[in-house]
Structure 1
Amino acid sequence: MLAENYELIETIMLYGGLVCLFVLMGYAVHDVLKNNDVPMIGRVVTYGVLGLGALGFVAKGIIEIIWLSTGV
């Protein structure tokens, strides 16, 4: 296989792993919040922080794609 194929597979596996980790963190947070009867504002803040963390990784990926397409 070519080096380009290895890089593509590595990138796909990295982002797939990050998605899996965020899903698992979401399930863990949901379980903790449900078992401890957290008020709605606490749930909104908690899910917001987790969502912003995931959004940061999405933004990083989009910026990386834009930079690579322009040759930076």
Structure 2
Amino acid sequence: MLAEYYEQIEVLVTNITLGILFLLIGLAIRDVLNRSSVPKFGRIIVWMVLFLGCFGFIAKGIIQVVWEVGV
């Protein structure tokens, strides 16, 4: 039974791992921004770049699912 769902389990674990990685990156960036004297504009740019990276990852997943269902 496990062999049947091996690919789905692999995709799920990969997505969870990447989500945890994004979380840890966010926590590290927050710590660095809090310890240094970064101006407000710089903080906004840093968080925007991090958000766009996460958004791109999520959009890629959605596009991949739609593409596979449509084909």
Q: Note whether the superposition's TM-score is higher than 0.5.
A: yes
Distance 1:41-1:23 versus aligned 2 partners, 3 A rule:
same
Query: TM-score of the superposition, structure 1-length normalised?
Result: 0.92
Aligned pairs for 1:24-63 (under 5 A) are 24-63=24-63
Q: Which runs of 5+ in 1 are unaligned?
A: none
RMSD between aligned residues? 1.1
Q: Which residue of 2 aligns with 1:13?
A: 13
Q: Which residue of 1 aligns with 2:70?
A: 70
User: Per-residue displacement from partner, 1:26-72 (whole Å, max 9, x unpaired)?
Assistant: 0000000000021111100000001100111001000001001111x
% identity of equivalent residues: 46
Which runs of 4 or more aligned residues in structure 1 lie more than 6 Å from their structure 2 counterparts after TM superposition?
none
Query: TM-score of the superposition, structure 2-length normalised?
Result: 0.94
Q: Which runs of 5+ in 2 are unaligned?
A: none
How many matched pairs? 71
1:2: how far off? 5.5
